[in-house]
Amino acid sequence: MSILVFAEHDNSELKADTLKTVAAAQAIGGDIHLLVAGHNCQAVAEAASKVNGVSKVLVADNAAYEHQLAENVSLLVTELAADYNHIMATALTTGKNFMPRVAALLDVTQISDIIAVESSDTFVRPIYAGNAIATVQSLDSKKVITVRSTGFDAVATDGNAEIIAVDKVTDAGISSYVSEQLSVSERPELGAASVIISGGRGMQNGENFKLLDGIADKLGAAIGASRAAVDAGFVPNDMQVGQTGKIVAPDLYIAVGISGAIQHLAGMKDSKVIVAINKDAEAPIFQVADYGLVADLFNALPELESKL
């Protein structure tokens, strides 16, 4: 049995989530190959060759894959899929974007967002914002799977896989990249941070998110937000934690001025320790918090920063 895992990267760096997706592949078992599709992505290929449990790294380096357009990448992966039983990608925006296309081109349905592997055809995935956990058996001959990183522990990076160039160029010619606005931050990424401090509607405006900075600096934390704070324009969309935003499970999650809607809880309730600071003692966030503090955040945050 062999498994193709799509490497998540930005042409310069292999994303740590790929190590977790490889762990999911190992739980299925078989010969694991990593696909690096991008442009000028040799550094990623070399990092990928060190991922434990991977025997081959396939590198498709072409301008057609530079921005990992779904139309082009899905054609490439579909062609390669002939040699594999399982095709897997991390359930981040790139994998979520092109993988269902691969599934449809292969005439299979996709098993999305798995958090555990029961067997080579049976997987566990959250549904209804994580309020129910489904065990699903795929009846298709090939399995197309996206993996939720929080469900798996990263594999080590002391491997030595063979790097093989893939010459196939699949350019559908129906989509093109125009521009991007990337958020630049010195802080860890939400998906990789061991501590996250998030603000909600209670922060009142974007300016007040600066109150989280000093605490984040002291804890080496990433800063997140609830949907309400993003919708209100306080902070950009890439900070949103929740059912349809980023799913995180850090060692410590501090929710500030967040009421705790189902959709937000879906994105963070697997965190090891949850702290909630909210002035409303009835807020649902307190039901999932290990430590709750009923307080006005404008008093609590400066005090917390000074005492860390």
Binding residues among 148-187 for other proteins as defined by CB under 8 A:
172-183
Write down the least CB distance from residue 23 to other proteins, Å. Answer: 20
**CA–CA gap between residue 103 and residue 86 (Å, rounded):** 11
**CA–CA gap between residue 297 and residue 254 (Å, rounded):** 12
Determine which residue in the list 39, 50, 56, 96 makes contact with other proteins, applying CB under 8 A: 96
HSE-CB for 64 with a 13 A CA cutoff: 16
Write down the least CB distance from residue 276 to other proteins, Å. Answer: 8
Residues 229-268 touching other proteins, rule: CB under 8 A, are 230-231, 236-238, 243-244, 246, 251-252, 262-263
Using alpha carbons, list the distances in angstroms from residue 209 to 53, 64, 215. Answer: 42, 39, 11
- Does residue 63 interact with other proteins by CB under 8 A? no
- Does residue 20 interact with other proteins by CB under 8 A? no
Distance between terminal CA atoms of the chain? 51
Write down the least CB distance from residue 265 to other proteins, Å. Answer: 10
If residue 229 lies in a helix (H) or strand (E), which one and from where to where?
helix 227-231
Write down the least CB distance from residue 98 to other proteins, Å. Answer: 7
Cβ partners under 8 Å of residue 63, min gap 6: 39
Pick 58 or 277: Cβ nearer other proteins:
277
The closest of 57, 18, 62 to 40, measured between CA atoms, is: 62
- Does residue 6 interact with other proteins by CB under 8 A? no
Write down the least CB distance from residue 91 to other proteins, Å. Answer: 8
The one segment of 27-35, 50-58, 106-114, 199-207 that binds other proteins by CB under 8 A? 106-114
Cβ partners under 8 Å of residue 130, min gap 6: 243, 265, 266, 269
The closest of 146, 149, 160, 176 to 70, measured between CA atoms, is: 176
Residues 196-215 touching other proteins, rule: CB under 8 A, are none
Q: Whose structure tokens read 């762990």?
A: 23
Pick 40 or 183: Cβ nearer other proteins:
183
Write down the least CB distance from residue 69 to other proteins, Å. Answer: 7
- Does residue 61 interact with other proteins by CB under 8 A? no
Pick 191 or 199: Cβ nearer other proteins:
191
Pick 10 or 31: Cβ nearer other proteins:
10
Q: Whose structure tokens read 């080590």?
A: 156
